[in-house]
Homo-oligomer: A and B are copies of this chain.
């Protein structure tokens, strides 16, 4: 048994959609979540800036007794994870986990990817998919408006439909059978995206896939699960917690605003 906690971080609150799956699936595990709300969004910044920020995020994770860290940010796992120095614990990224799941899911080898500009520019999904299946064809689409839409509660209204259409229309002629939701905000738009691309296309949700992946890690014995007890959850952000409540409820499915602490990430 290994009662060290599982660390999860994101540029902001989007990673809570991954946390949601993790805490549901692993009630005995302790979790620490960090959302770098003072420096979000990562998705439009340069690689150099992202590398610097992720170094700080990992230094903060290092202040806990973690057994693994999940990089629950598409941009950070695309840009920073492949170049990260070794830590005393394994570090997994939602991009890598989702890419692997898409390779397993596809029948025709044609995979679409919706993600932020910086993630798409990094070609991280293509690289990871090519490592597993060199014959697969990947169709990446940068979707810069989808995060602002979700963060403003546009998840099933006319604006959401138009915003999703702007990007998904580029994939309609590509005969994909699998579509990766390559950013943790996008599962909130799942219904609208599924409708836009058609019911036959399998959507890959980073939160679901990460929960499955951690399940495999913990059951393989690679890392031991925690004792049978109630897991504790800690939440940290780097900017004021004042608007945590609405987004937290939307992404995590419950309001934890009162449990959130603010830290100064520039110290790390």
What residues make up the interface of A, taking CB atoms closer than 8 Å to B?
Answer: 38-39, 44-49, 144-145, 148-149, 151-152, 154, 158-159, 162-163, 166, 239-240, 242-243, 266
Q: Which 9 residue pairs spanning A and B have beta carbons closest together?
A: A46-B240, A148-B148, A144-B152, A159-B162, A145-B152, A46-B239, A49-B239, A38-B49, A45-B239
Copies of this chain present in the complex amount to 2
**Inter-chain contacts of A148 with B (CB < 8 A):** 144-145, 148
Per a CB cutoff under 8 Å, which of B46, B49, B145, B151 touches A144?
B151
Quick check: A49 and B240 within 8 Å, CB to CB? yes
- A225 smallest CB distance to B (angstroms): 38
**Inter-chain contacts of A48 with B (CB < 8 A):** 240
**Inter-chain contacts of A158 with B (CB < 8 A):** 162
**Inter-chain contacts of A49 with B (CB < 8 A):** 38, 239-240
- A141 smallest CB distance to B (angstroms): 13
- A56 smallest CB distance to B (angstroms): 12
**Inter-chain contacts of A242 with B (CB < 8 A):** 46
Contacts A44-B243, A158-B162 given; 16 further ones with Cβ under 8 A?
A38-B49, A45-B239, A46-B240, A46-B242, A47-B240, A48-B240, A49-B240, A144-B151, A144-B152, A145-B148, A145-B149, A145-B152, A145-B154, A148-B148, A159-B166, A266-B266
Question: Can you show 21 pairs from A to B with CB atoms below 8 A apart?
Answer: A38-B45, A38-B49, A39-B39, A44-B243, A46-B239, A46-B240, A46-B242, A47-B240, A49-B240, A144-B151, A144-B152, A145-B148, A145-B152, A145-B154, A145-B159, A158-B162, A159-B159, A159-B162, A159-B163, A162-B162, A266-B266
- With A and B bound together, what is the CA distance between A240 and B48 in angstroms? 8
**Inter-chain contacts of A44 with B (CB < 8 A):** 243
- With A and B bound together, what is the CA distance between A266 and B266 in angstroms? 10
Closest residue of chain B to A41 (Cβ to Cβ) is B41
- A50 smallest CB distance to B (angstroms): 10
Closest residue of chain B to A148 (Cβ to Cβ) is B148
- With A and B bound together, what is the CA distance between A154 and B146 in angstroms? 13
- A165 smallest CB distance to B (angstroms): 9
**Inter-chain contacts of A152 with B (CB < 8 A):** 144-145
- With A and B bound together, what is the CA distance between A39 and B41 in angstroms? 9
- With A and B bound together, what is the CA distance between A239 and B52 in angstroms? 12
**Inter-chain contacts of A39 with B (CB < 8 A):** 39
Closest residue of chain B to A143 (Cβ to Cβ) is B152
- With A and B bound together, what is the CA distance between A144 and B149 in angstroms? 9
- A237 smallest CB distance to B (angstroms): 10
